[in-house]
Amino acid sequence: MIYFNEDAEDLYQNAPFGYLTICSNGTIINANKTLLSWLKMKREELVEEKTFMDLLSIGDKIFYETHVVPMLQMQWEISEINLTIIGPHFSFPALINGKKVPTDKQTDAYYRFSLLNISQRKQFEIELIQARKNADNAFLKLQEVNQKLEQFAYLASHDLQAPLNTIIGMLSLLERKGHISKDTEETQYYSLIKNNISKMKLLISDLLEFSRIDSSNVQFTTVSLNIICKDAIQSLNNAIQECDAKIYVENMPDIIGERMLLTRLFQNLISNALKFRSKETPIIHIQYEQKENSITIKISDNGIGIDPKHSKEIFGFMKRLHSYDSIPGTGIGLAACKNIVEIHGGTINVESEKGKGSTFIFTLNSNIQK
């Protein structure tokens, strides 16, 4: 064990705090070496030559007289008062703690202060404020870039659809007028062109829908999941009737969310179940589970299922597990679902086995503010 005797005077003089003592009229009657070194002053320049008020700015002098002195007189102590100490050669921001020390004379007293130099803290605060300002500016620029990209995608999609519609119209005209003979090489070319145009139109349509998913302009309101499910199913009525699908929806609660986005979410997931159906009659169940801060929704089907090793990658942008010729699609629908769920503060995943159907499970945050 190491024994170390500290001299009280040395501890006072070389403490990591500045110390000073003033009498009742404010004159400084003692100060330690630490404070003198911070002020770059000699003892004889400060002690009994300056008052504490001499070390303060005009604003701090007013605050000292109107707040600090009354607190010392009434409560006998102050803690963590932020003042700027001004010397002839150097100034620094300080956190000040003080205590009133009575004397034998009831009308007299003196005051002891400790001063912590917080120059580094202030510098860190300035740097932090600047960093936040830079981050805010970067965020605003990123938002602006994203908005421009979304506008570009929206306009480009519209502009691309016009010439495609013209091409489709011209091809249909050629077919009606008998310029495309059956069972010839021209027929194969015609079918190839028509299929690729349909593929392009679907891709443009999906890109257009994806570009409209904008988290910055979302307005959350109270919405009925029953109505959202009804709207989503109604929009897919033709596809449902075509395969004679059966959809069973549990009585759903009201939540805070964005109606159009949530409708699109259910549309995409139900459409996905119809598209990847097996040879059996499609059966789709929509259920929910209420938790403390979220709601979990499950959409299960008896379709072809997927290999579990692909359960994460299918949510990637334009990620497809099947060729367009076997099952039409762009691979954008589930990426859109992921974006919509994340806008609502949740997550989405799938549980599935090949040939045994799929269950898409997503959570929605119940604490989203309107």
What digits encode the pLDDT tens for the residues 63-78?
Answer: 888 888 888 888 888 8
Asked if pLDDT for residue 5 goes beyond 70, the answer is: no
Continuous H helices in the chain: 8-13, 33-39, 43-46, 58-63, 69-75, 119-176, 185-211, 225-235, 237-243, 259-275, 333-343
Q: Return the closest-CA partner of residue 307 out of 353, 275, 273, 348.
A: 353
Assess whether pLDDT exceeds 60 at residue 370: no
The Cα–Cα gap between 197 and 203 comes to 10
C-beta separation of 76 from 99 below 8 A: yes
The tokens describing 271, both together, are 């459409």
Distance CA 27, CA 47 (A): 8
Cβ atoms of 113 and 94 closer than 8 Å: no
A 10 A CB-CB count for 30 gives 17
Q: Which two tokens stand for residue 354?
A: 């090949």
Residue 226: the pLDDT is: 93
Q: Is the pLDDT of residue 172 over 90?
A: no
Instruction: Return the minimum-mean-pLDDT range out of 25-34, 270-279, 313-322.
Output: 313-322
Task: Give the pLDDT confidence of 241-277 residue by residue, as tens digits.
Answer: 989 999 999 999 888 898 989 999 999 999 989 988 8
- Of 333, 301, 296, 337, the C-alpha closest to 318 is 333
User: How long, in residues, is the chain?
Assistant: 370
What integer pLDDT is reported at residue 18 of this predicted model? 86
Structure tokens at 261: 């986005």
The closest alpha carbon to 65, from 48, 80, 83, belongs to 83
Q: How far is it, in rounded angstroms, from Cα 167 to Cα 163?
A: 6
User: If you average pLDDT over residues 279-301, what whole number do you get?
Assistant: 90
Kindly report the average pLDDT of the chain as a whole number.
82
Per-residue b or e along 162-198, where b marks 16 or more CB atoms closer than 10 Å to that residue's CB: eeeeeeeeebeeeeeeeeeeeeeeeeeebeeeeeeee
Residues 95/115, Cβ–Cβ less than 8 Å: yes
Long-range contacts of 21-29, Cβ-Cβ distance < 8 Å, separation of 24 or more: 21/110, 21/111, 21/112, 21/113, 22/51, 22/52, 22/110, 22/111, 22/113, 23/108, 23/110, 23/111, 24/108, 24/109, 24/110, 24/111, 25/51, 26/51, 26/52, 26/53, 27/51, 28/52, 29/110
Span 40-66, average pLDDT:
85
* Cα 33 to Cα 15: distance, rounded to the nearest angstrom: 8
Output the pLDDT for position 4: 57
Residue partners of 321: CB distance under 8 A and separation at least 6: 306, 310, 314
Average pLDDT over residues 109-135: 86
Please answer whether residues 330 and 202 qualify as being in contact, where contact means their C-beta atoms are separated by less than 8 angstroms.
Answer: yes
